[in-house]
Amino acid sequence: MSSAEKPRLFFIDNVRILLVILVVSFHAGAPYAGVPWFMIPAETTALSEVVLGWFLTVCAAFFLGFFFMISGYFSPGSCDRKGATLFLKDRFVRLGIPLIVFYTAVMPLFRYGMYFLDADDPLSLWEFLASAYHWEPYHLWFIEALLVFTVLYCVWRGLTKETPQKQLRTPQNKDIFVAAVFLTVVTFVVRIWVPVGVWDPLKVVPPAYLPQFLGLFSAGIISYRQNWVMKVSASVGMMWLRIGLITVLLFPVIYRMSGGEYSSLTGGFHWRPFIFAVWEAFVCIGLCVGVLIYFREKVNLQGRLQRALSANVYAVYLIHFPVVIFVQYTLIGVMLHPFMKFLVVTMAGILFSFLISHFIRTLPFAEKIL
């Protein structure tokens, strides 16, 4: 069957729905885990800081890497059908236009609106943009990085002509284990010099996660050519799902070993960041492989609701950030436990993001981009 004739993989659409819900939840939980978060004051208890911090750390270990893997998986087929020039043009439209709109208009205006609500003697919009606003991509760094990876893929494809690859054997448990070990080592080495939380000057990608992101994007490309998504056995997938979930449960042990100092895990030449790199790699590989195969086996159907949700995943990723921050802002001073605020912001953020996305996509030309 040619790439143009391949049936739609509903299970991957369903994985994308899960991942974007996790992205919304991740940003919803930040201030209630004690993470510095724009103009939203931290509201925590000892328990919420630990539990939500655990949740955020698990999400950060795999969900954006998973998105990169899925994006890499669909790149070769799209490039085959359209040709490199049209494929790149399409990517610049779908990724570049939203990036420009959010960078130059949506986020500056949103940040000014939030500033205006809090300021006693606010600057004018132009004064704010010229002197007080920090020009950065915010959550759209992911779109920047994906655009860069896509360009690099097309350059590599042009230089190598991407000659037909010999068929590789389908990954078994030991192959996936070796991949996790390799990711551990490369990640640890990078973080000796560039710990988690440090960005490149252009804020295209956090270097501490570059091995994971680039590795999974490349794995997605290879997986498409080798059809590994359909060939990896259910038993292998379920094994790695169990490994990923069990590894998730080990984080409190690692956190306790750090003396309750997350910063001691994030980088440097020390056994603590090495152990954290091991934990993160096995969570990442375990959940990326395991969840994908689980959804292939168990969640490979879509009804009307799932089709509507999957059609809006990209737009939800784009717009959820200001939506979540606004909901968090409305809850400042409301007497609710941090866990309750997290749940309210998560549910409201998901609901409003999908609703707003649905209406935006009805606008002329929007559906072609989003």
In a domain, 277, yes or no: yes
The residue among 174, 279, 152 whose CA lies nearest residue 221 is: 152
Q: How far is the CA of 43 from the CAs of 7, 24, 117, 138, 267, in angstroms?
A: 47, 18, 20, 22, 27
How many C-beta atoms lie closer than 10 Å to residue 79's C-beta?
A: 23
Strand spans (E) along the chain: none
In a domain, 321, yes or no: no
R_g (Cα) of the chain, nearest Å: 21
Q: How far is the CA of 222 from the CAs of 84, 187, 215, 366, in angstroms?
A: 17, 21, 11, 31
Write down the pLDDT at residue 324. 98
Separation of alpha carbons 268 and 271, rounded Å: 9
Write down the pLDDT at residue 4. 45
In a domain, 256, yes or no: yes
In a domain, 291, yes or no: yes
Structural domain tally of the chain?
1
Tokens encoding 101: 């709109």
pLDDT digits 0-9 by tens, 80-128: 999 999 999 999 999 999 999 999 999 999 999 999 988 888 999 999 9
pLDDT digits 0-9 by tens, 216-238: 999 999 999 999 999 999 999 99
Write down the pLDDT at residue 1. 38
Tokens encoding 138: 């915010």
In a domain, 334, yes or no: no
- Counting as low any pLDDT under 70, the low residues of the chain are 1-6, 162-165
Write down the pLDDT at residue 167. 87
Write down the pLDDT at residue 43. 94
Separation of alpha carbons 184 and 179, rounded Å: 9
In a domain, 271, yes or no: yes
In a domain, 75, yes or no: no
In a domain, 297, yes or no: yes
How many C-beta atoms lie closer than 10 Å to residue 69's C-beta?
A: 26
Q: How far is the CA of 351 from the CAs of 21, 279, 316, 358, in angstroms?
A: 10, 33, 10, 11
Q: How far is CA 152 from the centre of its chain?
A: 19
Write down the pLDDT at residue 319. 97
Domain that holds residue 274: 164-301
Write down the pLDDT at residue 6. 62
